[in-house]
Amino acid sequence: MKDISVVIPLYNEEESLPELCSWIDRVCVEHKLSYEVLLIDDGSKDNSWNIVEEIHQKNPNIKGIQLQRNYGKSGALNIGFAACDGEVVITMDADLQDSPDEIPDLRKMIIEENLQVVSGWKKKRYDPLSKTIPTKLYNWATRKMSGIYLHDFNCGLKAYHYEVVKNIEVYGEMHRYIPVIAKWEGFDRIGEKVVEHRARKYGKSKFGMDRFINGFLDLMSLYFMSKFGKRPMHFFGLYGVLSFLIGLIMAFIIIANKLYHIWWLNTPATLVTDSPIFYLGLMAMILGTQLFLAGFLAELVSRSNPERNSYKIKKELI
């Protein structure tokens, strides 16, 4: 097993690749680290793959995987995690905005400080306000929902122990939430390191403003699946019963009011359908029934999942 694996997803980064790979090689040689670099070409349209082949011919430690089409950063990272073989796995972007000089310190935090995940924090950024302000809001929401108090969840420069990347699955746009996924899989020794953020030297950013909307939706999806993925009735059933009970209480209020007017006041009661409570109660009861049925159907689907009782064992004495 090598000391480190550097997993780098890339998309149309032909200009930066030679400089980046040379820099990584220099850092690893200076610190006497055995290493491999996995360049995951996520369906690039430029000359990136030819550059990867040329670099591999000169340095076999630098390897490449070319994907059939553009699957996104999460898909590229998942492929890289499956193929890597280093004790510590470093991820970084291919655009030279992450500094390979951070690699030795990130590895040291994993090995010597016994951390399982170390996330970079780009304390000083070279991004426009249109990116930094939404990023701050996104990081705040992720901290509150996950309970992990990192400053920069979206930083591409991270370090993981080998066991972490071999026990998690990254898909969709979940690469932003790898520390969250790791924590919910039981890897809760998570640290943070201030890292250098460099201005982009070549090309342009591949991400638009839609990533913040998609990122928040992915966080909600991840939170729900981690909490209720194997017990959906606990979510749908709970809110379904509460909604139905609220509607039932409103129905009792309407009935009691009508009986009060007829039996005690001997006055004609207003029509049930004239009361807004009637419609609110009816809506609550219908919604509650639908939620309960949704939970029941989701429970049936969950029971047919072959991984329903798949639990990961850390150690055993048998």
**What is the rounded distance in angstroms from the CA atom of residue 221 to the CA atom of residue 295?**
16
Total domains present in the chain: 2
pLDDT of 141-196, one tens digit each?
Answer: 778 777 888 888 888 899 999 999 999 888 777 888 899 889 888 898 999 999 98
Which domain does 131 fall in, by range?
A: 2-228
- Single out the residue in 170, 198, 228 at which a domain terminates: 228
- The per-residue pLDDT for 95 is 87
61 burial (CB, 10 Å; 0-12 / 13-18 / 19+) is middle
Of 164, 197, 228, the residue that ends a domain is 228
Report residue 100's pLDDT band, with 50, 70 and 90 as the boundaries: very high
Residues 27 and 136 in one domain: yes
Residue 226's pLDDT is: 64
48 falls within a domain: yes
Centroid of chain to Cα 93 = 17
| Within a domain: 310 | no
How do residues 239-284 score in pLDDT, each as one tens digit? 888 999 999 998 888 888 878 777 777 777 677 777 788 888 889 9
Q: Are residues 9 and 117 in the same domain?
A: yes
pLDDT band at residue 307, thresholds of 50, 70 and 90? low
Task: Based on the fold, state whether residues 153 and 250 are members of the same structural domain.
Answer: no
Domain identity same for 71 and 193: yes
pLDDT at residue 230 in the model: 64
Confidence of residue 213 (pLDDT cuts 50, 70, 90): low
Beta pairing class for 2-10 and 86-91? parallel
The rounded distance, in Å, linking the Cα atoms of 42 and 65 is 9
Q: Token digits for 184?
A: 């919910």
User: Which residue among 166, 201, 228 closes a domain?
Assistant: 228
Flag whether pLDDT at 117 surpasses 70. yes
**Pair 69, 142 in one domain:** yes
Question: Two tokens at 249?
Answer: 């209480």
The string of pLDDT tens digits covering residues 10-68 is 999 989 999 999 999 999 999 999 999 999 999 999 899 999 999 999 999 999 999 98
Are 193 and 78 in a shared domain? yes
Residue 312 is assigned to a structural domain of this protein: no
> Does a structural domain hold residue 167?
yes
